[in-house]
Amino acid sequence: AADIKVLGSLGREDLKKLCGENFPEWISFPQYEQVKWLNKHLSKLWPFVSQAATAVVKESVEPLLDDYRPPGIKSLKFNKFSLGNVSPKIEGIRIQNLQPGQIIMDIDFRWGGDPSIILAVDARVASLPIQLKDLQVFTVVRVVFQLSEEIPCISAVVVALLAEPEPKIQYTLKAVGGSLTAIPGLSDMIDDTVNSIVNDMLQWPHRLVVPLGVNVDTSELELKPEGKLSVTVVKATSLKNKELIGKSDPYVTLYVRPMFKVKTKVIDDNLNPEWNETFELIVEDKETQSVIFEVYDEDNLQQDKRLGVAKLAVNNIVPETPSEITLKLMQSVDSLKIKDYRDRGSLHLKVMYHPFTKEEQLEALESEKKAIEERKRLKEAGVIGSTMDALGGAASLVGSGVGFVGTGVAGGVGLVGSGLGAGAGLVGSGIGAVGSGLGKAGKFMGRTVTGHLGMSRKSGSSSTVPQPDQPSA
């Protein structure tokens, strides 16, 4: 009681020093209001919300697991899924009016739940049930209400996770009746799958758009392409060898969104490889998005080994100005996950950013839709294993005469389109499964959920637009 009394006398600055990085957002930003009353009601409602949401979440997420599964896994499904009995906690809420006709609510969301989640993992080398334990979620959820003049006065809702502070989803993995070592690299593959789904679907600027009426125009709420980034992967220097015999066989994957991941050719037996391959990537929000580079060592017998990663913020690039950039390779782009600071080599690039005109923006949207439809058709036909399979060769989504362009490397897939009229076609010296990359997207907007939402509707998330991806093997 004495300790609690002392805590009650502390000011906000004292609490910030005491809590470190884990203090609630409303302490750091006074505009966040405490909502103790809402948490009381949420704890009472949670048993009902949990039961109702379990079926909806399972139906919505399981198809995404199949789309985002990495090449080393043949099947990834829920064996058991329950949200448990512990309700989330809302640390604070901030209300903003940044745009006319909209109300923006930022919710500081914390959940240390007790869900029961078991994944059925079918890999090439073994099949294993994996339990996700000790799940914790820390994030700020942005909810945007689009106002209208008709009852219920809200025509659509947008949901996204703010990029700052970065969403944190923590958990531990446990093999049920076996060992995680039975599938080499499994923990990293599941981590990458979870991160890709969150980053590519929900993390701002990506979002879910939920219309609340019939024939609701949500075009102004959708995320649209702003420009294209031309990236030439020139070379890498001083890579670290991962082979016991000979040298590594490096290649680079790069993406702004994992669903549009592309990759260079493989350079055999070389720690200072030169590629000189150019890719053009779509940028949807120049201020918040970055290009991620992953350098791998190709391994024909098992999962490709990651040699290092690097990150380039798009807002650091001056438009219409060619630049030469050298990036130091790291263990992870997340500084909190870096445990090994040894030198991993460097990546040398040439970049230039071109902002889209209105016409180029429309062409990019149209070409992307056609290319994704073709991608889905190939998956259904069994030509490729996943809509996330990577696009090899010098592949691009370009903005003037927009189309997916590929050289069709060694039996790989090249997607070609000459703009709005030509659409996207398939070219190559044979169509094969290719790394991991171009995925499922809709109109560059996370996902749009359609249909009427009601208490009786169990699956309130039929989706007109899909989503994205995984590191390549």
Alpha-carbon torsion angle 113, 118, 119, 124, nearest 10: 140
Residues contacting 14, CB < 8 A, separation 6+: none
For 372, the 3-state DSSP assignment is helix
Q: What is the pLDDT of residue 177?
A: 77
- The answer to whether the peptide bond before residue 165 is cis (omega within 30 degrees of 0) is yes
Of 139, 88, 472, nearest to 296 (Cα)? Answer: 472
Q: What is the pLDDT of residue 430?
A: 32
Q: What is the pLDDT of residue 450?
A: 39
Strand partners, 278: 232
Residue type, 301: L
What DSSP line would sit under 34-46, residue for residue?
A: P-HHHHHHHHHHH
Full-model pTM:
0.59
* Interatomic CA distance for residues 253 and 276, integer angstroms: 14
Q: Residue 18's CB: how many other CB atoms inside 10 A?
A: 12
Full pLDDT tens readout for the chain, 473 residues: 788 777 767 766 777 777 777 766 655 545 678 888 899 999 999 999 888 888 888 888 888 887 777 777 778 888 888 888 899 999 889 888 777 888 899 999 999 888 888 888 887 777 788 888 888 899 999 999 988 888 888 889 999 888 777 888 888 888 887 777 767 777 878 888 888 788 777 887 788 888 887 788 887 788 788 899 999 999 999 999 887 788 899 999 999 887 778 899 999 999 999 999 999 998 988 888 899 999 999 888 777 888 999 999 998 899 999 999 999 999 888 776 777 788 899 999 999 999 999 889 888 888 777 767 776 776 666 665 555 555 554 444 443 333 333 333 333 333 333 333 333 333 333 333 333 333 333 333 334 443 333 333 333 333 333 333 334 43
Of 391, 390, 393, nearest to 277 (Cα)? Answer: 393
Q: Evaluate whether 128 touches 121 at the Cβ level (below 8 Å).
A: yes
Report the run of H or E that residue 135 belongs to, with start and end: strand 127-147
Supply the DSSP symbol for 181.
G
For 325-369, the pLDDT digits (tens) are: 999 999 888 776 777 788 899 999 999 999 999 889 888 888 777
* Interatomic CA distance for residues 170 and 163, integer angstroms: 16
Q: Evaluate whether 27 touches 12 at the Cβ level (below 8 Å).
A: yes
Q: What is the pLDDT of residue 380?
A: 67
The number of angstroms, rounded, from the C-alpha of 438 to the middle of its chain's C-alpha atoms is 12
Q: Evaluate whether 430 touches 423 at the Cβ level (below 8 Å).
A: no
Edge-to-edge strand list for the sheet holding 323-328: 323-328, 346-355, 227-237, 274-283, 396-397, 404-405
